[in-house]
Amino acid sequence: MELWRQQVRAMARVRFLKLKHDGKLLRSILLLFGVFILPLFVTFLLLQLTEGFNNLELTASLYFVPTEQKARIKSTNLLIFNDTGSDIEDFIHALKIQKIVPEIAVEKNITSIPQYNGAIKVSLEGKRYHYTIMCSAEPINCFPVLMNILSNTFLRLFKSTERIRIWSNPFPHIKHSALMYDTFYRFLLLMLLLIAGLPSHFAMSSMDDYKIKARSQLRLTGLFPSAYWCGQALVDIPLYWAL
């Protein structure tokens, strides 16, 4: 048994040194590993990039004419209904700081709202200001944008320099789950193919020993056949599972 253990350790050392010095076998294993892993990595990278592109930041300039900038095709002025009976210059100034061109409505009714993407009505009841946001039917995500404009306006009125930003990311949990499941199954399929292809590469070394009759010479010197295979397994199996 002690002789068998010595032979196993010796064959494991020979196998390790052979893998270390035989660059051809190691390169072939790494090439096989790269061939299967590279498409998965590229696919995952592309999915991550497209996931980032799907997140659209909703800004006021997408819907309303910005100051000192060229107006977008479907942007309009932000209509302001002043129903307070007094001046709201502070409110208008806070809007202009956000680079929004407000337009004060002269008439009391709101029949002109379809001509604009959105409007904000400011009214005064007692000592409380009330703000009502209104949107046309066509602009998508108009209400979140108006709420964001109104929130940033309050920040300016309270002398804050911070700014709230919003993004449109519909069904983020569903998309993320689908992406994870898809990536997991792709990874599982490719790894199964990779696992099936690796043993043949490890067997090439034993075939080389068979061709040059090195194994027969070792057996003539008293090497146990089980020690030969167990010594190689001590190196091949950990390397196989590591890959």
Domain that holds residue 232: 1-54+173-242
pLDDT at 229: 87
**Digit-coded pLDDT (tens) for 26-78:** 777 777 777 777 777 777 777 666 665 567 788 888 888 775 555 566 778 88
Q: Where is the domain boundary, 133, 158, 183?
A: 158
pLDDT at 235: 86
Mean pLDDT of 230-237: 86
**Position with higher pLDDT, 46 vs 105:** 105
- Do the domain assignments include residue 166? no
CA atoms of 8 and 233, how far apart (whole Å): 9
Q: Are residues 83 and 125 in the same domain?
A: yes
Q: Are residues 188 and 112 in the same domain?
A: no
**Digit-coded pLDDT (tens) for 107-141:** 665 665 677 888 999 988 888 889 999 988 888 88
Q: Which amino acid is at 134?
A: M
CA atoms of 102 and 115, how far apart (whole Å): 14
- Do the domain assignments include residue 37? yes
Indicate the burial class of 15 (C-beta count within 10 angstroms; 0-12, 13-18, 19 or more).
buried
The total of other beta-carbon atoms located within 10 Å of residue 57's CB is 10
Q: Are residues 78 and 138 in the same domain?
A: yes
CA atoms of 156 and 86, how far apart (whole Å): 20
Q: Which two tokens stand for residue 27?
A: 């390169």
Q: Are residues 149 and 71 in the same domain?
A: yes
- Do the domain assignments include residue 145? yes
Global pTM value: 0.50
Backbone angles phi, psi at 73, to 5 degrees: -60, -45
CA atoms of 134 and 141, how far apart (whole Å): 12
What CATH number did the domain enclosing 99 receive? 3.40.190
Give the DSSP letter of residue 163: -
Q: Where is the domain boundary, 94, 126, 158?
A: 158
Q: Are residues 42 and 93 in the same domain?
A: no
Among candidates 76, 87, 155, which has minimal Cα distance to 116? Answer: 76
How many domains, the chain?
2
Q: Are residues 154 and 64 in the same domain?
A: yes
Q: Are residues 76 and 128 in the same domain?
A: yes
**Position with higher pLDDT, 181 vs 128:** 128
**Position with higher pLDDT, 175 vs 207:** 207
- CA 208 to the chain's CA centroid: 46
**Digit-coded pLDDT (tens) for 150-159:** 999 999 989 8
pLDDT at 143: 92
